[in-house]
Structure 1
Amino acid sequence: MTGTTHTLPARGAPPAPPAVGEQVSARTWVAVAAGMMGAFMAVLDIQITNSSLRDILGTLSATQEEGSWISTAYLVAEIIVIPLTALLTRVFGLRSYMIGTTALFLVFSTLCGAAWNLESMIVFRMLQGFTGGALIPMAMTLVMAKLPASKRATGMAIFGLTATLAPAMGPTFGGYLSELYGWPSIFYINWVPGALLIAGMLYGLEREPMQLKQLWNADWLGIGFMAMGLGGLTIFLEEGNSKDWFDSPFIITFAGLAITGLLGWVVTSTTRAEPFVNLGLYGKRNFLVATVLSAVTGMGLYGSSFLLPLFLGQIAGYSPMQIGEVIMWVGLPQLFIMPFAAKLSSKVDNRILCSVGLALFGGSCLMNAYMDAGTGYDQLFWSQIVRALGQPFIMLTLSNFAMAGIAPRDMPSASSLFNMTRNLGGSIGIALLATALSSREHFHSARLGESVTMLSAATLERIEQMTASFIAKGVDPATAGNQALTAIGNIVRREAYVMAYNDGFFLVGAILIACIGILWCADKVKAPSGGGAGAH
């Protein structure tokens, strides 16, 4: 019978995947689909608060700077739990852990919607991240553990969609829900996919025995170092720009904690026979290349999802719903492209497909590097389409590179590290772009200010025109002159910001295209179509 539990090998390693050619039962597909829904929900929740932040802060009586911790708390908890999922899956079993962590995620999502002050919201968001973060690598583990090689390209294609669609849809979806039903609805909506996920796991997976002894024997020192390192690094990246980086003792402290924790994690991992996650996988060339590019792709995914809504809101004055109408064109075409990419991945060298994907994604960012203050839906449509064409080829093929040749017992570790690296890349990308946006705006503002002076005939003429316009509306001459100077100053600042956004997109595009060279350091890989391991 298909879909039944395989005998667990020693030391609680996950069951080996079904044999090549083995039929996959409907129950197994239900379980895989439920896992994908969980990953999508968890990634969506990373940024779903962004477009609703102003409303949330108003209700909780908090400042913009304080409100940044609503997202930071979720990211810190999520990045810590992702590497732990390999251990927790061995301890509780795939089915029990997925159901338990989803149930807790729904409870904490509800508490987020009912938060009564900023402190309670931050605590509940952290708990939400700690339970939701596990759902991301678990979806990838389900594909590798439950599907035979011939069906894995399809599974990885669906997983790729969760990784690329959710970052783009998070702010959009959050904006729609907030506008229609109020901001608590962005948390309560999780009950719909969450309930379906639990039902899918109950139906699709067999119960596995728990191995609670593994908790007692776990590498708790390594886990402590990992939590300190990744948590410190995430706080450093998320809060660094707003606190002026190394001018802040707070940021210096967390930079020190990050370095100490990460070094301690590496040392304890290499000295223990049974580390909680196998960092030795980074020694495999294909896996290393895949994780480096996963970080870069995370930077591109979250970075472009950070820059474009910010540009449309600040420069074009778009509402969250209008921003959603622009961004949805990154998502919709991917639903049709991903099956095509999955089919190609078993026939064409994945390095070629990934190169095409990186070129398209990078090219779409370069298309956005020439915006002006009038850029809106019509001008951004084609860059969004090009981005949608490229992203599926990247995520699908990188998953294939990462998992090619990985032993069944190391699949949960590989999935955890691969997804952890992508999320870290996202944090690095947003931190890099927020800093670049601020510094380049100052740079362009200064350069424009050199030209727009009272010694410039063009500037004086423009001031006279604007002053006359204000006087014609009934404003007295002195006030009209001041208003004209203020208006000129606002135009200079706006143009400086537009140029800074262009620089940000150019930076992302250049990095994505440059990474095509790194990709060719990997071995040739094709997704298995009916036999073979997939690596050549």
Structure 2
Amino acid sequence: MSNQHVAAAPASTSAAPPAPAPADPWNMWQGLSFMAVSLLLGITQGLGVNLVNSNLTGIQGSLGATAAEASWLTTAYFATNITASLLLTKVRYQYGLRLFADVVIVLFLLLALAHLFTQHLGSAIAVRAALGLAAAPISSLAVLYMVQAFPPARAMTGAVLGFAMTQIGAPLSRIISEELLQNGQWQGIHLVDAALAILCVAAINVVRPKHVPTQKMFARGDGIVFTLYALALGLLCVVLTQGRLRWWSDTPWLGVCLAGAVLCFGLYLVIELRREKPLLDLHWLASPFMLRFMAAILLFRIVLSEQSVGAVGLMNTLGFTNDQMHLLFVFVTVGTMAGFGLALLALPSRRFGLLGDAALVLIMLAAWMDGQSTVLTRPHDLYLSQTLLAAASSMFLASAMLQGFGHVIAGGMKNLISFIAVFSGGQALAGLVGQAWLSTLLAERQRLHYGQLVEHLQQSDPQVVQRLAQLGGAYAATLNDAAARGNQALTLLSQQVTQQSYVMAYNDLFHTVALTSTLGFLVFAGIKTHRWHRARRNTPAAELPATSS
């Protein structure tokens, strides 16, 4: 979580979004209908991104592509999806929520149907990039529908539940994907996308979103600035998703893409800092609170990649596929919902920072538990740890959203645009950074462990000879040639050594995540302690609580 985006707020940071119209009296049945539409939109968005990203191995066969070539499906989706939120939310405020919802969901439906007719990798990548653009605002609509399901006084409860709806698709995609691939391959996956899109079109036309006042949002120069912004993030997505597969130092064009990203982003900064109505308020983003906020997003998304890169990767290495891990992902779904439930319990006290602290502790515990894995580890051994990790992911998401929105509201809502742009795109980009780093760490540690294991395997070693005899004995009934049995035994031993080296590398990955989480917890605790002492020093003595002598 994987990875899920919220459409960015309007592009003008000099003025707050238009004030909402007077609220109609709350109706319970209307609220339930809004909740149902929110759930449908959230599942549609979640499955739209995760059904492909979670099943690249199965999809590449139907498209006749290699693993590296199929990875471009993920690259294309994120390259457009991360940057589209900012532009599309400007459109939403410019032309109204109802028209925006109608156009977006119909476009999503058309692209989902287009997937059914793609037979080659090139056309699939093009449609996937277009779908990333169309899907960007779906999660935003899911949250908005859930917010409108509650009375205005309970808007934050609706926001938390709305984000919860967008998280269900990730584990659900792994539960249903095997049957879809077996029955329809590439097209089977997108039949579900198309069917859900049709349901969304019907639902949005039956349950109309409430009217939101429009406002002129586009300014001179937006096109040039947004192009540079989109190119920079798109090229960075290419580097992060392709570097770990094609290897960083072996692919010169990755360096060209990275240099292009730096150049585009530099030009964007130069132009943006001189504009009266910038896309993002860069000065506010450089404030201490937002720097801490962005650091927290980066830290959490890196360590939360433990689930997709670590736990799922370990199970795949040991020979387990998604259909053999159904119950594991059921537990992940339960943990996800439990995390949001705990966030709702924290709403009255408004101590949202404790949610983030507790999430780090849960990640530490889960990573330490996973770090005890062996070649005999099975999916049921990960039920508890992955449930805790899923709960931690939800708690962090809720904590970040609640703290961030609280800070924006305290500032008069004028920085809502910049906050949501960072909150949506920042999480997805940080997730790609986490996956790239942990995948690179895994590859390096696996090579190291494999070399160390092979170094100690000598055919003159009695234990090695005995092991080869045992492995060759399994072919005694089918192979009469002793030399052939010996070759088969060597092959099996090499496979076992490779598997053991991977398990050791995954344990290193889990330990690294646990250590990173611990360091992050200590750093954030130190920052909070420093701020508390500074506030206490700046408080007049008369205002300090009295202490007994």
Residue of structure 1 in register with 2:402 after alignment: 400
1:516 Cα deviation (Å)? 2.5
Residue of structure 2 in register with 1:346 after alignment: 348
Does residue 175 in structure 1 map to residue 178 in structure 2? yes
Counterpart residue type for residue 429 of structure 1? G
Q: Go from structure 1 to structure 2 and tell me whether the alpha carbon gap of 1:393 and 1:411 turns closer, same or farther (over 3 Å shift).
A: same
Residue among 478, 491, 505 paired with 1:500: 505
Residue among 70, 75, 91 paired with 2:94: 91
1:67 Cα deviation (Å)? 1.0
Q: Go from structure 1 to structure 2 and tell me whether the alpha carbon gap of 1:302 and 1:119 turns closer, same or farther (over 3 Å shift).
A: same
Residue of structure 1 in register with 2:518 after alignment: 513
CA separation in 1, counterparts of 2:434 and 2:26? 39
Counterpart residue type for residue 351 of structure 1? G
Which shows bigger deviation, 394-403 or 41-50? 41-50
Q: Go from structure 1 to structure 2 and tell me whether the alpha carbon gap of 1:290 and 1:284 turns closer, same or farther (over 3 Å shift).
A: same
Residue among 189, 192, 212 paired with 1:189: 192
3-state SS, counterpart of residue 476 of structure 2: helix
3-state SS, counterpart of residue 415 of structure 2: helix
Does residue 466 in structure 1 map to residue 471 in structure 2? yes
Residue of structure 2 in register with 1:411 after alignment: 416
Q: Deviations over 1:13-37 (max 9, x none)?
A: 5333589x99645557755764564
1:469 Cα deviation (Å)? 4.2
8 A Cα contact 1:225 1:264, kept in partner? yes
Residue of structure 1 in register with 2:357 after alignment: 355
Counterpart residue type for residue 337 of structure 2? L
1:131 Cα deviation (Å)? 0.8
1:121 Cα deviation (Å)? 0.5
CA separation in 1, counterparts of 2:346 and 2:211? 36
8 A Cα contact 1:24 1:147, kept in partner? yes
Q: Go from structure 1 to structure 2 and tell me whether the alpha carbon gap of 1:426 and 1:157 turns closer, same or farther (over 3 Å shift).
A: same
Counterpart residue type for residue 513 of structure 1? T
Residue of structure 2 in register with 1:3 after alignment: none
Q: Go from structure 1 to structure 2 and tell me whether the alpha carbon gap of 1:421 and 1:25 turns closer, same or farther (over 3 Å shift).
A: farther
1:428 Cα deviation (Å)? 0.8
Residue among 235, 239, 243 paired with 1:236: 239
Q: Go from structure 1 to structure 2 and tell me whether the alpha carbon gap of 1:269 and 1:512 turns closer, same or farther (over 3 Å shift).
A: farther
1:157 Cα deviation (Å)? 2.2
Which shows bigger deviation, 220-229 or 86-95? 86-95
1:108 Cα deviation (Å)? 0.7
Q: Go from structure 1 to structure 2 and tell me whether the alpha carbon gap of 1:180 and 1:362 turns closer, same or farther (over 3 Å shift).
A: farther
8 A Cα contact 2:142 2:165, kept in partner? no
3-state SS, counterpart of residue 118 of structure 2: coil
Which shows bigger deviation, 359-368 or 117-126? 359-368
Does residue 221 in structure 1 map to residue 224 in structure 2? yes
1:115 Cα deviation (Å)? 0.7
Q: Deviations over 1:81-139 (max 9, x none)?
A: 12323322222222222321221112111211321211110110000001102233455
Residue among 60, 72, 75 paired with 1:72: 75
Which shows bigger deviation, 248-257 or 45-54? 45-54
Q: How does 1:410-429 map to 2 (within 5 A)?
A: 410-429=415-434
Counterpart residue type for residue 402 of structure 2? N
CA separation in 2, counterparts of 1:210 and 1:149? 20
CA separation in 2, counterparts of 1:32 and 1:397? 22
TM-score normalised to structure 1 length: 0.86
Q: How does 1:9-20 map to 2 (within 5 A)?
A: 13-16=16-19
8 A Cα contact 1:112 1:121, kept in partner? yes
Counterpart residue type for residue 498 of structure 1? V
TM-score normalised to structure 2 length: 0.84
Does residue 134 in structure 1 map to residue 137 in structure 2? yes
Q: Go from structure 1 to structure 2 and tell me whether the alpha carbon gap of 1:465 and 1:55 turns closer, same or farther (over 3 Å shift).
A: closer
Q: How does 1:100-179 map to 2 (within 5 A)?
A: 100-137=103-140, 139-140=142-143, 150-162=153-165, 164-179=167-182
Residue of structure 2 in register with 1:527 after alignment: none
1:207 Cα deviation (Å)? 4.8
Counterpart residue type for residue 250 of structure 1? W
Counterpart residue type for residue 230 of structure 1? L
1:328 Cα deviation (Å)? 2.2
Q: Deviations over 1:128-178 (max 9, x none)?
A: 001102233455567779967741332232234245443333344333432
Residue of structure 2 in register with 1:205 after alignment: 209
CA separation in 1, counterparts of 2:21 and 2:274? 33
8 A Cα contact 2:446 2:504, kept in partner? yes
User: How much identity, in percent, do the aligned residues show?
Assistant: 22
* Poorly superposed stretches of 4+, deviation over 6 Å: 9-12, 141-149
Which shows bigger deviation, 296-305 or 372-381? 296-305
Counterpart residue type for residue 508 of structure 2? D
CA separation in 1, counterparts of 2:232 and 2:60? 29
CA separation in 1, counterparts of 2:263 and 2:163? 33
How many residues of Structure 1 are paired with residues of Structure 2 in the alignment?
A: 513
Q: Go from structure 1 to structure 2 and tell me whether the alpha carbon gap of 1:228 and 1:36 turns closer, same or farther (over 3 Å shift).
A: farther
Q: Go from structure 1 to structure 2 and tell me whether the alpha carbon gap of 1:512 and 1:166 turns closer, same or farther (over 3 Å shift).
A: farther
1:284 Cα deviation (Å)? 4.2
Residue of structure 2 in register with 1:366 after alignment: 368
Does residue 450 in structure 1 map to residue 436 in structure 2? no
Q: Deviations over 1:431-457 (max 9, x none)?
A: 112212211110110111122222433
CA separation in 2, counterparts of 1:111 and 1:518? 48
Does residue 291 in structure 1 map to residue 294 in structure 2? yes
1:74 Cα deviation (Å)? 0.7
Gaps of at least 5 residues in structure 1 are: 1-8, 525-536
8 A Cα contact 1:161 1:335, kept in partner? yes
CA separation in 2, counterparts of 1:312 and 1:298? 21
Residue among 308, 312, 315 paired with 1:312: 315
8 A Cα contact 1:12 1:90, kept in partner? no
8 A Cα contact 1:225 1:265, kept in partner? yes
Q: Go from structure 1 to structure 2 and tell me whether the alpha carbon gap of 1:39 and 1:378 turns closer, same or farther (over 3 Å shift).
A: closer
3-state SS, counterpart of residue 372 of structure 1: coil
CA separation in 1, counterparts of 2:251 and 2:151? 52
Which shows bigger deviation, 153-162 or 230-239? 153-162
Residue of structure 2 in register with 1:4 after alignment: none
1:507 Cα deviation (Å)? 2.4
CA separation in 2, counterparts of 1:388 and 1:459? 42
Residue among 473, 478, 484 paired with 1:479: 484
Which shows bigger deviation, 458-467 or 391-400? 458-467
8 A Cα contact 2:229 2:265, kept in partner? yes
Residue of structure 1 in register with 2:329 after alignment: 327
1:427 Cα deviation (Å)? 0.8
Which shows bigger deviation, 21-30 or 119-128? 21-30
3-state SS, counterpart of residue 277 of structure 2: coil
8 A Cα contact 2:281 2:418, kept in partner? yes
CA separation in 1, counterparts of 2:272 and 2:140? 20
